[in-house]
Structure 1
């Protein structure tokens, strides 16, 4: 058993990955660095990933849709508030 922070797990893989405190990320889902951290954690799993958190947040529903979609991904994004080329 290896216990580490998400950033320490980068580059390593395991058959099973547990993410504890997922609610802390879900509370601040607009913070890109936290969403990137959960992506890193989930992609470390070769087989199973278990997310643990309390409460109800829109991100939980988002994860449910990802699981239900199987191997088909659809990415949505918000338009930038201003044009960076100007």
Structure 2
């Protein structure tokens, strides 16, 4: 199990490697922004400040967005403790 912290409100929840960030947040009762849950609407985009994630399929993010730390929480699987920013 890994710990995920959401900034700026400093909300924490746990996730395992089989879950996406979004699944883990919703399972923990966190109101995480989302709509389509398949990486198209971009509602769940957040910025990774720290930690490792992986994707089963390549995300629809530009190389520049990826370099800036943007992730799709609905597609990103947790690989370590994470710190994410929702602003």
- TM-score, normalised to structure 1, is 0.30
Going by fraction, where is helix more abundant, 1 or 2?
1
Kindly indicate which of the two structures has a greater share of residues assigned to strand: 2
TM-score norm. by structure 2 comes to 0.30
Structure whose alpha-carbon radius of gyration is higher:
1
